[in-house]
A and B are shown apart, each in its own frame.
Chain A
């Protein structure tokens, strides 16, 4: 085990590299979650489309993503994308993570859409609105609100999952820690350091999510 003074010295001297890596991790997470939300909404809408073939497509997507390890998906998409057309590494990683997050977000949206009282749909229809208009203007706004806490949770999961992008040579937090560790023959120190960065990020996000939930709870009253 490294000594305390050695640990804090290394923590301080490496902070430039780690902070850059932290921003890359955050950027990767944010982009992949945002695109994941678009994927998720799209597949959730397919799922409730009442068109059998579209439901099957949505089910297949969720089945494939949930049924295979994320690292396998990242590799398949990374090598698949780079084989098909030129794509920057960042976008290969971001899209792979988005594809993965999208399936979980689709399940979040499907759940919250279905949790909206069916009287809301009936009220919309009884006023002469079409099913599509009622979904868009009445159901989805309520479903989005209810999706915010689980989306915050998915964001935290996505942040940690983004460490797997290290395997396709993204210089995000985990990659920087293993590279520095092996260059300096000091793996444990850098692994402990990177754990701290993740803990701080997750703690900040958790606080943000719970503040958000409290705010929502107040305006729901």
Chain B
């Protein structure tokens, strides 16, 4: 209904030693959709997200990007990752580079864009996240919320088809969460395909097209936000929602 399939997993499995973290995960994300992955810590949602851009190596199962099965044996993962961006919980900005240098690094080094063109595009992105006055500042001078907005701009600079967010607001002071969520909402409104691991239930309810609830390495329930929050079907979902909403 929502256009092209962007990313899909088929029977995805992943173990760390004896710990079976992902169990037969089937999930698909269509173009312009926002999918929020929710669940308790250790439920496997971050690992699933990291498998999607191959930062974590799956044990078996398939990952399909735009319908094409992608594996390290047949594809250049560096190339694949250019179209699947990632925003991290701890920002992971490059501390020895200014905000602008952080953003133009990959476009100039990987895509061989000229410095002037990359700078022009970077300034455009900085305006978009409201930080154009911070271009020449080092990350250490920024607040957590500003760092995360720069990290988002840095990912966008590669013009990805899909953006993955790994608990993007979990490391932020409460008063800084809003500005990052607002930036993400703006992206969603523009039609960016997003997969977001989050504990922000308000954001999930408002912005997500689908909520995927994971527990013990499995997808327990996938539903529209209104259904998920107001009429959860699974016992474990109800328990989880009770606990998170402090009802």
- Residues of A near any B CB (own CB < 8 A): 117, 119-120, 122-123, 125-130, 133, 137-138, 141-142, 145, 220-221
Contacts and interface: CB of A to CB of B under 8 A. Distances in A.
Contact of A128 (B79, B95, B96): B79
B99 to A, nearest CB: 14
A221 B137 CA distance: 12
Nearest to A136: B109
A128 B78 contact: yes
B27 interface: no
A130 B78 CA distance: 6
A142 B93 CA distance: 12
Interface residues of B, number: 24
Contacts of B154: 127
B96 A129 contact: no
Interface in B73-94: 78-79, 81-82, 84-86, 88, 90, 92-94
Given A126-B55, A129-B106, A137-B105, A117 B82 contact: no
A23 B87 CA distance: 53
A128 B94 contact: no
B162 to A, nearest CB: 12
A138 B106 contact: no
26 contacts: A120-B92, A122-B55, A122-B86, A123-B92, A123-B94, A125-B55, A125-B78, A125-B81, A126-B84, A127-B81, A127-B82, A127-B106, A128-B81, A128-B82, A128-B106, A128-B110, A128-B158, A129-B78, A129-B106, A129-B109, A129-B110, A130-B78, A133-B110, A138-B94, A138-B105, A221-B140
B9 interface: no
Contacts of B53: 126
Interface of B: 53, 55, 78-79, 81-82, 84-86, 88, 90, 92-96, 105-106, 109-110, 140, 154-155, 158
B88 A127 contact: no
Contacts of B105: 127, 129, 137-138
Contact of B110 (A119, A127, A221): A127
B157 to A, nearest CB: 8
A201 B17 CA distance: 54
A117 B93 CA distance: 11
Given A117-B92, A142-B96, A145-B96, A127 B55 contact: no
A220 B94 CA distance: 12
A123 B166 CA distance: 12
